[in-house]
Amino acid sequence: MPAHPIASYTKSARLFALYQSLPRSEANAVSLTELMQNYGDNLDNCTNERKNLENDLIGLNQVFNDIFYSDALIRVPAWGKNISGKTARFYIESSFSIDIINEQTVFFWEILYKYTAN
């Protein structure tokens, strides 16, 4: 668990913290409400923090798609599907890891380093 609420970190650090905190199986998938327990703690700013969490999940999904060419961040129901009356749940595909060294992960770590260095 992060030492501070994830919402207090920079964008790139938030994405990495989300990656680390998401479960690795559909059986353990978590909702936005469950993710908010570690994401933010500012009751006066809860609506903004929840919107930031939603945007961070979308951003993390986009990073996985653009850099790793992977749909590793799973949303149930699937991304783009109407969730009217349902609770969206999220998890990382169990076989996916950014800890493996290959061309895509080296690029990811370089971009993350440059993005957080500024």
pLDDT tens per residue across span 55-84: 999 999 998 898 778 899 999 999 888 888
pTM of the model: 0.78
Per-residue b/e over 2-40, b at no fewer than 16 CB within 10 Å?
beebbbebeebebbbbbbebbeeeeeebbeeeebbebbb
At 63, the amino acid letter reads V
Structural domain spans, the chain: 6-117
**Number of CB atoms found within 10 A of residue 60's CB:** 20
pLDDT, position 116: 64
pLDDT digits (tens, 9 = 90+) for 4-24: 788 888 888 888 889 989 999
